[in-house]
Structure 1
Amino acid sequence: MVLGLAGALGSALCYGVASTLQALAARLTAPAGGLDPRLLVRLARSWRYVLGLVLDGAAFLLSLAALRTLPLFVVQPIVASFLAVTAVLGALVGKLPLRRSDKIGIAVVVAGLALIGLAATGDSPRPVPAAVSWAVLLTAILLVAVALPLGRLPGPRGAAALGAVAGAGFAVVAVATRTLPAPLTLGGVLADPAAYGLLIGGAVAMLAYPTALQRGSVTLATAPLVVLETVLPAAAGLLLLGGTTRPGWGAVAAAGFVTAVAGALSLARHGELQPGRPARGPR
């Protein structure tokens, strides 16, 4: 369990640095019309975005390790605390100093994570019905169908809508990761529909989030992402995958979950180092 908690915290650290780099890269790249995969090609010319992708990969592997030993409702709010990392990072480089409310937000996140850690218990993945794996894949496909029209929304509405799409995509990734068979084998993964849902959900999220950052403020794009990527997997874990807490600690876990997510949302403005800088050509 301790290694799982360490993996989740390490994932949050990597995601925090990665999101800062990617948000800045998105603002410095020519905007896309709709959900245009060519945006990712343009972003790939930015060393900031590429480094962010490397850190995203490390974060995913760490969260994968965490989800093999801890339930979703424990791992997801810890991962969502990446916004506390971006807040501290922004303050350290001097571009976005911490306000009093930001310091309170960081303290709230830490308090929530402490409660979650106290209530957590080891919980390895359990076999799930095939219907659950197929449901993960179907959800990912439906997300694509929803994302395409939402990708045409301009301005703040588009930022919020695509942030929500990205959050739902990352939620699919988290649930799919938890449902993969244990132990992980290449044959088992390739035969599991959830693995393909993971790929589709991840691809949608990776395209939707930078597009959202180009449409509006970081807060508009990030707040719905944090809520959906945290709440949806937690609910799925409790309702479908048998997630549990230490006996008698359910209320503590719930309080920690709400506290950590609320604190993370209060820090959503820290998604980039230089807010408000206009987009221009790729670098």
Structure 2
Amino acid sequence: MLIGLLTAIAASICYGTGSVLQAVGSRRAAGAEPDPTGLTQHGGPNLSSTAKAALTWEFILGTVLDFVGFGLGALAARLLPLFLSQTVISANLVITAVLSVKLLGIRLTRREWASIGVVCGALVMLATAAGHEGGHHAASATHWWLLAVTVALMLGGTVAVRLLGPRAAILAGLLSGLGFGALGVGVRILDGVDPFDVTTVLTDPALYAIVIAGVGGMYLHTVALQLGSVNGATAALVVGETVLPGAIGVLWLGDASRPGLAWLAVLGFLLAVAGAVAVAWYGNHDPAPTTPAPLPTPTPAPPTPVRG
């Protein structure tokens, strides 16, 4: 349990730092080369503008941290109940919020700090109430359903954010979170890991769900960072990343709380989600670029009367 918690915390730090660095890279790319052709007809970023953001050194470093976080998160998903591992990893919201103050110049309101405090308190409740981890086996049909749902979410989300344009920031963050949640479930049920069998791993649909969820979730998260507040996008990601795998772990994989502490686990889970939603609601406050006020139009002088 302790090793799993430390692994999940390390993954959370990597993800939170990576999100802020990616936001810095996205905004630097947009500021260096403002280009109206980088938008779709609905006002959202096209693939070319997203690719330009991904080529900045800040974004590349943030992506490397995301990959490290992915490895640590995958290990945590195998060691802890999903409702605990995914919620601890989702605490990257706190890292993101604190670093955004320093690196992005964002000033957090009292409501945001209070919401972050609720998330931290909820994580303590979950860690206290978490019991044994369930199994890693799921029926073959479950693996195929996970792949089908993952493909539908990632493709549908990509189309939706392109159509909605600037209004899609929170939706893109939520869908990226659902992708990362599906990734966590896939890692948990992946066949051929213990004992390791490369043929079993390569023929398991869950492996391809993991790949599609990882790539699609990364793309949608990048779009969310381009469109809106880093804190709001990350908070929406937290909701999607936490609710789906937590419910699946309890309902189908046998994850459980300690005897007599189920109420504390449920309360902690609900407070964690509510706190993340609150940060998403209050956190969409990135200052818009200021434009100088237009100079007042001078009043023309009255015509000079002509004599004669």
Category of TM-score, reference length = shorter chain: 0.7 to 0.9
Residue 142, structure 1, aligned to residue 132, structure 2:
no
Q: Is the 8 A contact 1:83 1:268 kept in 2?
A: no
- TM-score, normalization: structure 1? 0.87
Residue 275 of structure 1 corresponds to 286
Structure 2: which amino acid aligns with 1:203? Answer: V
Q: CA deviation at 1:234?
A: 1.0
Q: CA deviation at 1:226?
A: 1.9
Select 1:48's aligned residue among 54, 58, 63.
58
Q: CA deviation at 1:32?
A: 4.7
Residue 128 of structure 1 corresponds to 138
Q: Report the secondary structure of 1:242's partner residue.
A: coil
Residue 8 of structure 1 corresponds to 8
Residue 257, structure 1, aligned to residue 269, structure 2:
yes
Residue 247, structure 1, aligned to residue 259, structure 2:
yes
Q: Is the 8 A contact 2:225 2:233 kept in 1?
A: yes
Q: Is the 8 A contact 2:239 2:276 kept in 1?
A: no
Larger-gyration structure (1/2): 2
More RCO (CA 8 Å, sep 6+) = 1
Residue 78, structure 1, aligned to residue 78, structure 2:
no
Q: Is the 8 A contact 1:20 1:271 kept in 2?
A: no
Residue 292 of structure 2 corresponds to none
Cα gap change, 1:93 to 1:140, in 2 (>3 Å): closer
Cα gap change, 1:88 to 1:204, in 2 (>3 Å): same
When structure 1 is superposed on structure 2, of 68-77 and 118-127 the one drifting more is: 118-127
- TM-score, normalization: structure 2? 0.80
Q: Is the 8 A contact 1:96 1:270 kept in 2?
A: no
Q: CA deviation at 1:210?
A: 1.5
Structure 2 unaligned segments of length 5 or more: list them.
31-37, 290-308
Residue 108 of structure 1 corresponds to 118
Q: Report the secondary structure of 2:105's partner residue.
A: coil
Q: Percent identity?
A: 38
Q: Report the secondary structure of 2:162's partner residue.
A: coil
When structure 1 is superposed on structure 2, of 238-247 and 55-64 the one drifting more is: 238-247
Structure 1: which amino acid aligns with 2:253? Answer: L
Residue 183, structure 1, aligned to residue 185, structure 2:
no
Structure 1: how far apart are the matches of 2:171 and 2:235? 11
Structure 2: how far apart are the matches of 1:212 and 1:162? 5
Residue 117 of structure 1 corresponds to 127
Structure 1 unaligned segments of length 5 or more: list them.
279-283
Q: Report the secondary structure of 1:145's partner residue.
A: helix
Structure 1: which amino acid aligns with 2:15? Answer: Y
Q: Report the secondary structure of 1:28's partner residue.
A: helix
CA-based RMSD of the aligned residues comes to 2.6
Cα gap change, 1:36 to 1:180, in 2 (>3 Å): farther
Residue 207 of structure 1 corresponds to 219
Select 1:61's aligned residue among 67, 71, 77.
71
What is the 5 A alignment of 1:227-246? 227-246=239-258
Cα gap change, 1:53 to 1:148, in 2 (>3 Å): closer
Residue 24 of structure 1 corresponds to 24
Aligned length: 277
Q: Report the secondary structure of 2:208's partner residue.
A: helix
Q: Is the 8 A contact 2:19 2:62 kept in 1?
A: yes
Q: CA deviation at 1:40?
A: 4.9
